[in-house]
Chain A
């Protein structure tokens, strides 16, 4: 089933399927139901990193040096961990500025410079050509090998074939047509290619499944699992060194480390990776999943590389089968036609995925950053006056795709055969690594200038060209080989592969060291030597501080513009429908209706138009177009600085304001609480005053009344007179007592009372107080029962105050005792470090609802309005205050009709022995 027509038909069916998927995804996108807005699709699209290089080349590399293929995948794993810092920033910047490609990003950062964009584009195109040629080589080789089935014959030297019979040319042409149909059907203002991303994600699944399928077949079908393959390798003396690959075969650790660094940079700066990771990103939150899904993908696609590589070496011991083809030739040798076909399709999907995205990304760059800026400047073309340029834009891109693929083919013819797949790819990696200083510096270092970036890029590219590309061409015989062996003009020091005598390294490490030194050196030195222009300064600030300022581009524009002029520009590049839609959107965001109501041609609008244009033709071209359409005042560097300073001052002020308002809020809350407390105290004071005046007036009224009677009637009977005078005296006493108690209370409450706290014996005080009150008890015929412990512990208390409490509680008990058969029990007990005194009467008791209330000021049980109060109403309150001050507790237990028991506790004073221990 491996006849030519079957393979060709299957390939075209596969490409057709891709087209259908892309078409479906585009349809869905137009309906607003995007299929690619998912972190899983995003992660799979990142896997466009795995190309035919991975699919065929990893095995080839592993077969020769064991671990050499791994840094290419470990590097991105490490880099992607930094994406939350780096890529999120790049995403944010790119969304705000409608960046269309890597070249656009770098150009925009360095003052929207057309030169920078152009240089980046040239480096990218030249640098990527080897990589594209690698894909062509892989597809055409695998096809040619498949055609020889059941023989296993390595493809003949390509140079030996006439061009028109060369499969690689046909592959290049078919892929070019396919990509043109696929990626440039219409012009998207934001450079989103939803269909392409969906197809790429699908391809990622296909190539992973195909590779794992062949891996499982080789490992478990041809051999008996991993252990079998490796133990055979160990037993084969020619292969045994592969088990410790890092010393013997792979050479140095330096190579490993540089490959890791190189691939860390490649995952960010390969144009196709930038395209899928940044330009096609739908939501920066998708990063969170991609950060582990993408490394997981790479891990999975690498698991079977070693068994296939070693299996191939074991199976084809003669070395006449190219290790790059083991993936395909192993199943072919076993006559597994279906697996071989699946491998071919997997390799095809890996290659087409790469070619599609890479050429689309490169064609965007070529169009926006190389061709358009030149065309727009050529006044002879009168391009700026043409009504609709969308057709021209698409034409340029289509031409660029075709050109890039043909150049890739040319490179394949010139240099492709001399190298293994991985070595070809690494040349491209080293080329795109030259973007790293300009990009990383650009987003973190404000002082980097346009000239610095240009100098760094050119220097790095020149060294790359001299140390990597030139030798590649020389190997294939297109440049005299003497250049490599003896250096230019016989100057040994300038030998491309041992520059300045740095020999003994592999060529990639060697090239990376010198190109990075030249690139970073020139970038930093030139940046520091010059000063940035106003435009550069402003872009630097917008890029570096993207998380601090959002959408601040409009602040920097001053001039006059007219809406029709700008609308005209938009229409020419976006087409009438898209331009109209953009303007309506803009007006809607400002609460207006377009075109019924006008739009102001202010700085915001000019900025908006420029950003829209940038989405279609790149920032450098957009800048030129807008500058032509409006009258712009050129801002000086100082003015830009001033605007930036104002902005940062505003930020600082607003931070301070926020802080102040938070502090104020806290202070207000505190004040409000304090105010509440004050109001409460004020209310209590009012209550107190009104109660006390009432309490004072009652005795005063009776004193006054009786005094008036005595005064008015001097002939009053002696008995009567005595009775009245007695009442007056009693009331006066009550008044005095009341005033004393109020004073006392005031003192206690304000904390100004004198406390003479000493160690006292409660039993003694109780006995003394009872003795003092003896006559009262006798008078009322009250029986007093006492219960004391033998030697109660002493307590710390003020003797007089404690006596006051006892007197108070006892006189209350006397007052409420049942008449005639009154009985008071006084007991002292000790428990849990406290001395407890209970005073129980057999009076009417206190209702539960009154029990809390009687301890309040001027509150007595029962109805005070009808019954004459039997006391001042302060006694219990003062007693409680005293006991609590002494560290104890005073409470009452009672039930209606069963008497009341007032109890208080006082903490036992530490005895001297205990005090010493403590």
Chain B
């Protein structure tokens, strides 16, 4: 139970982080007409943040929560 509890809390924290990342004003900061490696900044930001979030979730959910 203790390990499930820890894992739950870590995942909730990641959800909060995601709500922050994919929201105003974070999105507004990246809403600029520049290309990063040929990709518009806002799209690069959203996909990179998304990928990192999924990676973090994989890491947290995959650990046994000890």
Q: A67-B46, A78-B19, A227-B38 are in contact. Are A288 and B27 (CB under 8 A)?
A: no
How long is the Cα–Cα vector from A143 to B50 in the complex, in angstroms?
A: 34
Q: A243-B40, A295-B54, A299-B50 are in contact. Are A256 and B27 (CB under 8 A)?
A: yes
Interface string of A267-303 (1 = CB under 8 A from B): 0000000000000000000001101100110010001
Q: Is B2 an interface residue, CB under 8 A from the partner?
A: no
How long is the Cα–Cα vector from A225 to B38 in the complex, in angstroms?
A: 9
Which residues of chain A are within 8 angstroms of B62 by Cβ–Cβ distance? 288-289, 292
Cβ of B38 to closest chain A Cβ, rounded Å = 2
> Interface residues of B: mostly helix, strand, loop or mixed?
helix
Interface string of B38-66 (1 = CB under 8 A from A): 11101100110011011101100110000
How long is the Cα–Cα vector from A253 to B38 in the complex, in angstroms?
A: 25
Q: A67-B43, A292-B61 are in contact. Are A231 and B35 (CB under 8 A)?
A: yes
* CB atoms of A74 and B54 under 8 A apart: no
Which residues of chain B are within 8 angstroms of A240 by Cβ–Cβ distance? 33
Which residues of chain A are within 8 angstroms of B53 by Cβ–Cβ distance? 77, 295
* CB atoms of A230 and B40 under 8 A apart: yes
Q: Is A245 an interface residue, CB under 8 A from the partner?
A: yes
How long is the Cα–Cα vector from A81 to B40 in the complex, in angstroms?
A: 28
Q: A291-B57, A292-B57 are in contact. Are A253 and B11 (CB under 8 A)?
A: no
* CB atoms of A303 and B47 under 8 A apart: yes
* CB atoms of A299 and B35 under 8 A apart: no
Q: Is A247 an interface residue, CB under 8 A from the partner?
A: yes
* CB atoms of A296 and B54 under 8 A apart: yes
How long is the Cα–Cα vector from A82 to B7 in the complex, in angstroms?
A: 10
* CB atoms of A244 and B42 under 8 A apart: yes
Cβ of B29 to closest chain A Cβ, rounded Å = 11
Cβ of B34 to closest chain A Cβ, rounded Å = 8
Cβ of A240 to closest chain B Cβ, rounded Å = 7
Cβ of A241 to closest chain B Cβ, rounded Å = 9
How long is the Cα–Cα vector from A170 to B50 in the complex, in angstroms?
A: 40
Cβ of B19 to closest chain A Cβ, rounded Å = 6
Query: CB within 8 Å of A: which of B1-55?
Result: 4, 7-8, 11-12, 14-15, 18-19, 22-24, 27-28, 31-33, 35, 37-40, 42-43, 46-47, 50-51, 53-55
Cβ of B26 to closest chain A Cβ, rounded Å = 10
* CB atoms of A243 and B42 under 8 A apart: yes
* CB atoms of B11 and A82 under 8 A apart: yes
* CB atoms of A77 and B18 under 8 A apart: yes
How long is the Cα–Cα vector from A260 to B26 in the complex, in angstroms?
A: 15
Q: Is A711 an interface residue, CB under 8 A from the partner?
A: no
Q: Is A589 an interface residue, CB under 8 A from the partner?
A: no
Which residues of chain A are within 8 angstroms of B7 by Cβ–Cβ distance? 84, 288
Q: Contacting B28 at CB < 8 Å: which of A67, A80, A246?
A: A246
* CB atoms of B42 and A246 under 8 A apart: yes
* CB atoms of B22 and A246 under 8 A apart: no
Cβ of B53 to closest chain A Cβ, rounded Å = 7
Cβ of A283 to closest chain B Cβ, rounded Å = 14
* CB atoms of B38 and A230 under 8 A apart: yes
How long is the Cα–Cα vector from A292 to B53 in the complex, in angstroms?
A: 9
Q: Contacting A67 at CB < 8 Å: which of B4, B23, B42?
A: B42
* CB atoms of B15 and A78 under 8 A apart: yes
* CB atoms of B38 and A84 under 8 A apart: no
Looking across the interface, which residue of chain A has its beta carbon closest to that of B57? A292
How long is the Cα–Cα vector from A246 to B42 in the complex, in angstroms?
A: 9
* CB atoms of A77 and B39 under 8 A apart: no
* CB atoms of A246 and B31 under 8 A apart: yes
* CB atoms of B18 and A247 under 8 A apart: no
Looking across the interface, which residue of chain A has its beta carbon closest to that of B35? A230
Which residues of chain B are within 8 angstroms of A306 by Cβ–Cβ distance? 43
* CB atoms of B61 and A243 under 8 A apart: no
Q: Contacting B61 at CB < 8 Å: which of A226, A242, A253, A289?
A: A289
Which residues of chain B are within 8 angstroms of A227 by Cβ–Cβ distance? 35, 37-39
Which residues of chain A are within 8 angstroms of B37 by Cβ–Cβ distance? 227
Which residues of chain A are within 8 angstroms of B18 by Cβ–Cβ distance? 74, 77-78, 81
Cβ of B58 to closest chain A Cβ, rounded Å = 4
> Interface residues of A: mostly helix, strand, loop or mixed?
helix
Query: CB within 8 Å of B: which of A219-269?
Result: 225-228, 230-231, 233-234, 240, 242-247, 253, 256-257, 260
Q: Contacting B54 at CB < 8 Å: which of A71, A77, A234, A303?
A: A77
Cβ of A708 to closest chain B Cβ, rounded Å = 82
Which residues of chain B are within 8 angstroms of A79 by Cβ–Cβ distance? 15
Which residues of chain A are within 8 angstroms of B22 by Cβ–Cβ distance? 71, 74, 78, 256, 260
Q: Is A70 an interface residue, CB under 8 A from the partner?
A: yes
Cβ of B57 to closest chain A Cβ, rounded Å = 4
Cβ of A491 to closest chain B Cβ, rounded Å = 34
Which residues of chain B are within 8 angstroms of A83 by Cβ–Cβ distance? 11
* CB atoms of A81 and B50 under 8 A apart: no
How long is the Cα–Cα vector from A85 to B8 in the complex, in angstroms?
A: 6
How long is the Cα–Cα vector from A828 to B4 in the complex, in angstroms?
A: 68
Which residues of chain A are within 8 angstroms of B46 by Cβ–Cβ distance? 67, 70, 74
How long is the Cα–Cα vector from A67 to B38 in the complex, in angstroms?
A: 17
How long is the Cα–Cα vector from A226 to B31 in the complex, in angstroms?
A: 18
How long is the Cα–Cα vector from A81 to B28 in the complex, in angstroms?
A: 24
* CB atoms of B27 and A253 under 8 A apart: yes
Which residues of chain B are within 8 angstroms of A296 by Cβ–Cβ distance? 54, 58
How long is the Cα–Cα vector from A299 to B48 in the complex, in angstroms?
A: 10
How long is the Cα–Cα vector from A80 to B35 in the complex, in angstroms?
A: 31
How long is the Cα–Cα vector from A322 to B41 in the complex, in angstroms?
A: 27
* CB atoms of A85 and B50 under 8 A apart: no
* CB atoms of B35 and A244 under 8 A apart: no
Looking across the interface, which residue of chain B has its beta carbon closest to that of A292? B58
Q: A74-B50, A288-B62, A306-B43 are in contact. Are A81 and B57 (CB under 8 A)?
A: yes
Cβ of B11 to closest chain A Cβ, rounded Å = 5
Cβ of A169 to closest chain B Cβ, rounded Å = 39
* CB atoms of B23 and A243 under 8 A apart: no
How long is the Cα–Cα vector from A242 to B33 in the complex, in angstroms?
A: 9
How long is the Cα–Cα vector from A814 to B22 in the complex, in angstroms?
A: 94
Which residues of chain B are within 8 angstroms of A288 by Cβ–Cβ distance? 7, 61-62
How long is the Cα–Cα vector from A43 to B39 in the complex, in angstroms?
A: 30
Looking across the interface, which residue of chain B has its beta carbon closest to that of A257? B23
How long is the Cα–Cα vector from A74 to B45 in the complex, in angstroms?
A: 13
Looking across the interface, which residue of chain B has its beta carbon closest to that of A80? B57
Q: Contacting A299 at CB < 8 Å: which of B4, B28, B47?
A: B47
* CB atoms of B31 and A247 under 8 A apart: yes
* CB atoms of B50 and A246 under 8 A apart: no
Q: Contacting A246 at CB < 8 Å: which of B11, B14, B27?
A: B27
Which residues of chain B are within 8 angstroms of A85 by Cβ–Cβ distance? 8, 11-12
Which residues of chain B are within 8 angstroms of A247 by Cβ–Cβ distance? 31
Looking across the interface, which residue of chain B has its beta carbon closest to that of A78? B18
Cβ of B40 to closest chain A Cβ, rounded Å = 4
Q: A77-B53, A253-B28 are in contact. Are A234 and B35 (CB under 8 A)?
A: yes
How long is the Cα–Cα vector from A306 to B40 in the complex, in angstroms?
A: 11
Cβ of A227 to closest chain B Cβ, rounded Å = 2
Residue from A70, A81, A247 having most chain B Cβ neighbours under 10 A: A81
Cβ of A663 to closest chain B Cβ, rounded Å = 21
Looking across the interface, which residue of chain B has its beta carbon closest to that of A81? B15
* CB atoms of B38 and A81 under 8 A apart: no
Looking across the interface, which residue of chain B has its beta carbon closest to that of A287? B61
Looking across the interface, which residue of chain A has its beta carbon closest to that of B59? A292
Cβ of B8 to closest chain A Cβ, rounded Å = 5
Looking across the interface, which residue of chain B has its beta carbon closest to that of A260? B22
Cβ of A196 to closest chain B Cβ, rounded Å = 26
Show the binding face of B for A, using Cβ within 8 Å.
Answer: 4, 7-8, 11-12, 14-15, 18-19, 22-24, 27-28, 31-33, 35, 37-40, 42-43, 46-47, 50-51, 53-55, 57-58, 61-62
Q: List 14 A-B contacts (CB under 8 A).
A: A70-B46, A74-B22, A230-B39, A231-B35, A231-B38, A242-B40, A245-B31, A246-B28, A288-B7, A291-B11, A292-B55, A295-B54, A295-B57, A299-B54
What 5 pairs between A and B have smallest CB-CB spacing? A227-B38, A292-B58, A81-B15, A253-B24, A291-B61
- In addition to A292-B57, A299-B47, 14 A-B residue pairs with Cβ atoms within 8 Å of each other are A78-B22, A82-B15, A226-B39, A230-B35, A230-B39, A230-B40, A245-B31, A246-B27, A246-B28, A253-B27, A256-B22, A288-B62, A292-B62, A296-B58
